[in-house]
Every structure is written in C-alpha cells, then in structure tokens.
Structure 1
Amino acid sequence: MANLRKRQIKGTILLEALLALGVFAVIASLLLGQITQSRKEAAVILQKEEVLQVAQMALQTGQDHLSLNGIEIRIQRTKDQIRVFHQGEELIDVEKR
C-alpha cells in the first residue's frame, strides 16, 4: 500500500510539473508574439518618420522632387499652397489664408 502511495505522489508531482511547463510555454509564446508585433509596428513608424524627414529636406532645400534612400518626394507649390506627395499619396497640404 505504501509503495502505491509513493507512485501516486510521484505521478502527481510529474503531472504538476508538466502543467507548469505548459503554462510557462503559453505565456512565453504570448510574450514573444507581442514583441514581434511591437517590432513590426516600430518598423512602420520608422519608415513614416523617414518619409517625413525626406519631405522636410525637400522643403528646406526648395526642391520640387527629391529621391533619397528609395523614398521619392514630390512637391507642388502655388502662390497660396504647398502640397507634399509620396507615392501618389498626399502627405502634407499647407494653405495660406
């Protein structure tokens, strides 16, 4: 009878250890997934920041077209308005009133 109880206790300890390992694995995979998603979002933000920096360079140098690091910026100037474009999308529209 005592031998059976020892086996039962060892089996219970093993089961608890496996359960704890499973919980740890789930938590670790969730954390790694969030880190990956955060890095992707940071890369998108850095790309947008770089586009805006190139646009600022084009405006400061007075150029109507500037290509730098694979980023192409086009600027349309009129008497009362400045519009900045990147890949056909309008980034900035400044109008004098």
Structure 2
Amino acid sequence: MVNIKKQQVKAYILLESIMAMALLAILSSLVLTEVSAHRAQVARQNQAIEVLNVGLMAFDSKQTNLRENGVSVTLTRTDKQLVLESSGQEVLRLEILQETP
C-alpha cells in the first residue's frame, strides 16, 4: 500500500518551490528592467551634459560652429540673445529681457 500523506507533502513542497521560483523570476525581471531604464536615462543625461560642455567651449572660443567628441553644436549670437543648437534642435536660449542701467 502507498502512503497518500507523503505524496501530498511532496506535491505541496513542489508547488511551493514552483511559486517561489516564479516570484524570483518576476522580481528579477523587474529589477533588470529598472536597471536598463536607469542606464538609458543616464546615457541621455550624459549626452545633454556633453552638448552643454561643447557649447561652453564654443562660447569661450568665440566660434559659431564647433565639433568635439562626436558632438556638433551651432552657437548663434545677437545683441539680445544667445541660441545653442545641436543636431538641428535648440538646446539652450538665453535672452536679455531688461538692460541694467
């Protein structure tokens, strides 16, 4: 005769193991997704910082176009404003709204 109680215990342990493994897989995928999203955000921020640094170099050297470290910027100056563009997009616009006496 087979002991039914022992089979039920083994099945229960197996069920708990499967549930624990599923929970671990879900948590791992959530963590990896968030890490990946954070890395992409850091990469975008680093790109923006690089554009601003190259723009500052262009401003300091009084150049209108500057390409450095794979980043190309265009700096447009007038009496009242300064516009920094990179890849056809406006990155920064500084305007003098009121002159100091």
Common fold by TM > 0.5: yes
Gaps of 5+ in 2: none
Shift of residue 79, structure 1, vs aligned partner: 2.3
Question: Is 1:44 the counterpart of 2:44 in the alignment?
Answer: yes
Gaps of 5+ in 1: none
Please report the RMSD computed on the Cα atoms of aligned residues, expressed in angstroms.
1.5
Shift of residue 2, structure 1, vs aligned partner: 7.1
Q: Which has the larger helix fraction?
A: 1
Where has structure 1 moved over 2 Å in runs of 4 or more?
none
Equivalenced residue count is 97
String of CA shifts for 1:4-47, please: whole Å, max 9, x gaps: 10111111111111111111111111111111111111111111
Cα distance in 2 between the residues matched to 1:82 and 1:8: 77
In structure 2, the residue matched to 1:21 is: 21
Shift of residue 80, structure 1, vs aligned partner: 2.5
Cα distance in 2 between the residues matched to 1:29 and 1:91: 35
> Which secondary structure does the structure 2 equivalent of 1:30 belong to?
helix
Question: When the two structures are superposed, what TM-score results if normalisation uses the length of structure 1?
Answer: 0.89
Q: Percent identity?
A: 34
